[in-house]
Each structure stands twice: as structure tokens, then as C-alpha cells.
């Protein structure tokens, strides 16, 4: 790997690691706005547990399955990661876009 490619990769990994944590604070704030006080801790814990279970199981599983069944070469793991990560980000963005009207409606009803 060339030095330039290495620098771009390090910057990219750093940027992703910086941005990937933003969702937790935003979702926790959204949950706090929508839920009554007595439910906040339980729903917050459920959200964190669910997202961690999906992230820790589904992400690596999809990368491995794609690598084993589509590319069929252990050396192609980088391509599997390049397919799964952007696809997951796109799915998350579409999901957020679709639930935004319901969130706004629920938030307007609380005020």
C-alpha cells in the first residue's frame, strides 16, 4: 500500500469513528422528548441493547456471508466491507427519512 493510500485510509477510518457515535446522543435526546419520565431508562436501555445486538451480529455476519458466498475469496474481505458499510448507512438514512414525519407528529402532540 502506498503512503498516500495509507493516509487516506487512516483519515477515512478516523472520520467514520468520529461520526458513527453521533446517532446515540441524537436518539437518546429524541427518546427523552417523546417518553414519559418513568419509561425513559427502560426504553433507553432497550434501544442500546437492540442496536448493539444488531451491530455486533448482523454487520459481521453480512460481511462474512458476502465474502463466503459471493466473492468466495478470503482476500476480498475489503470489498465485502465496502459493500456492507455503505449499504447499512443508506438503509439507516432511508429509515430515518421515513420515520421523520411520525416523529414530528408525535413531538407536536407532546407540546
Burial class (CB in 10 A: 0-12, 13-18, 19+), 40: middle
Distance CA 29, CA 44 (A): 10
pLDDT computed for residue 74 by the predictor: 87
63-108 pLDDT tens trace = 999 999 999 988 888 899 889 988 988 998 899 899 999 989 988 8
pLDDT computed for residue 108 by the predictor: 85
Report the domain count for the chain: 1
pTM of the model: 0.70
Domain residues for the domain of 85 are: 3-110
89-101 pLDDT tens trace = 899 889 989 999 9
Amino acid at each position: 500500500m502506498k503512503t498516500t493510500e495509507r493516509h487516506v485510509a487512516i483519515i477515512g477510518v478516523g472520520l467514520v469513528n468520529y461520526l458513527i457515535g453521533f446517532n446515540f446522543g441524537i436518539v437518546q435526546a429524541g427518546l427523552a422528548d417523546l417518553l414519559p419520565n418513568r419509561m425513559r431508562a427502560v426504553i433507553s436501555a432497550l434501544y442500546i441493547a437492540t442496536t448493539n445486538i444488531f451491530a455486533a451480529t448482523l454487520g459481521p455476519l453480512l460481511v462474512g456471508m458476502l465474502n463466503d458466498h459471493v466473492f468466495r475469496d478470503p482476500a476480498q474481505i475489503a470489498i465485502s466491507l465496502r459493500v456492507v458499510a455503505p449499504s447499512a448507512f443508506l438503509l439507516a438514512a432511508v429509515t430515518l427519512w421515513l420515520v421523520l414525519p411520525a416523529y414530528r407528529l408525535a413531538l407536536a402532540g407532546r407540546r
